[in-house]
Chain A
């Protein structure tokens, strides 16, 4: 599985847009890019998944450039409840086990 690199932490204020970028230089042709969110003492929760270009759902957007060596998770107008750890995962195929890195700890302040 491709190794991912993302910032250890980020700070933001309520109402701002937050962009978390993940590098995955060794991504393989059949790899998908997936983001999970984890609140303290809870299990990770799937946010969004993409292969290329842009994917948007009710929670976030995922931007993937043409070379796919990085991706950016965009959270519009964050609130205090978006304070969590965000994980970028890269892997191919379905039903496979997830390999988590250390994630990005996002702190949203009032």
Chain B
């Protein structure tokens, strides 16, 4: 069964450093998403991406965040200058086009720890 993959599984970085989180969505999917989940809290939407541009973003997704699809398979989330409060699990998700389903396929997540 196809699945969304994410790397690394755990990233530790110092405050102020840039991090890039990587995702490989399911190959025939065209819509891509990033969510985050701070420990013990709910899953929060960050950004959606379709046709090589951002479709929608939340207020969390400020100028410190950016997304990119550098090639035909990877989808990345960059945090330019990390803060302590960026520590969270970051989930990538994807879904196919042309469906009425709300079924998004989530990756296993990257645990980001900012020290």
Contacts and interface: CB of A to CB of B under 8 A. Distances in A.
A38 interface: yes
Interface in B72-98: 89, 91, 93, 95, 97
B55 to A, nearest CB: 8
Nearest to A38: B43
B103 A95 contact: no
Given A43-B108, A49-B103, A95 B45 contact: no
A36 B41 CA distance: 16
Contact of B89 (A32, A41, A45, A89): A41
Interface of B: 4, 31, 33, 35, 42-45, 48, 50, 55-56, 58, 89, 91, 93, 95, 97, 99-109, 111
28 contacts: A34-B102, A41-B89, A41-B109, A42-B108, A43-B91, A43-B106, A43-B108, A44-B43, A44-B91, A44-B104, A44-B106, A46-B102, A46-B104, A49-B101, A49-B103, A94-B102, A95-B50, A95-B55, A97-B56, A97-B58, A98-B33, A98-B35, A98-B43, A98-B45, A98-B102, A99-B45, A101-B42, A102-B42
